[in-house]
């Protein structure tokens, strides 16, 4: 199934937002018993590290790649490259395995998942913003013609 180039940004928005929301939800559900200033600061640190070094770069990279496509229509899974899909698969497998094994204490789940989920959700929202900008720019260009 082929979609318009800008729709790839919307698909990335939906996928990353859904993943981020779910992980953030898991973290927040575990958090009430562990709310301390230190834990909140650690969650913020996890958020900042993932946003600065992973997801922020991922959003910029994939937005530039998609915007650079010369053809208008693309296979709907081209919103990410193989490396991004591998990152997502490793994260999902690792997260599910970590929780299912019981190796990670509930405090870790609360602190880490809250920061990670918030960062993933922001990445999804940034893809959504980039989609909105691309659509706006396309309409503006079309109206000027």
Kindly list the domain boundaries of the chain, sorted by start residue.
Answer: 2-144
pLDDT digit string (tens) for the chain, length 145 residues: 999 999 999 999 999 999 999 999 999 999 999 999 999 999 999 999 999 999 999 999 999 999 999 999 999 999 988 888 898 899 889 989 988 999 999 999 999 999 999 999 999 999 999 999 999 998 887 887 6
Helices 82-101 & 56-67, crossing angle to 10 degrees? 150
CA distance 54 to 143: 37
SS3 2: strand
């Amino acid at each position: 199934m082929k979609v318009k180039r800008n729709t790839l940004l919307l698909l990335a928005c939906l996928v990353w937002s859904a993943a981020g929301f779910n992980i953030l939800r898991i973290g927040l559900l575990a958090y009430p018993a562990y709310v301390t200033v230190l834990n909140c600061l650690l969650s913020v640190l996890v958020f900042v590290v993932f946003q600065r070094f992973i997801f922020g770069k991922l959003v910029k990279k994939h937005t530039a790649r998609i915007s650079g496509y010369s053809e208008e229509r693309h296979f709907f899974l081209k919103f990410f490259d193989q490396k991004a899909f591998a990152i997502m698969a490793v994260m999902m497998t690792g997260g599910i395995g970590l929780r299912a094994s019981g190796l990670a204490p509930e405090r870790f789940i609360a602190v880490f998942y809250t920061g990670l989920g918030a960062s993933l959700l922001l990445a999804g929202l940034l893809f959504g913003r980039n989609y909105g900008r691309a659509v706006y720019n396309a309409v503006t260009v079309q109206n000027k013609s």
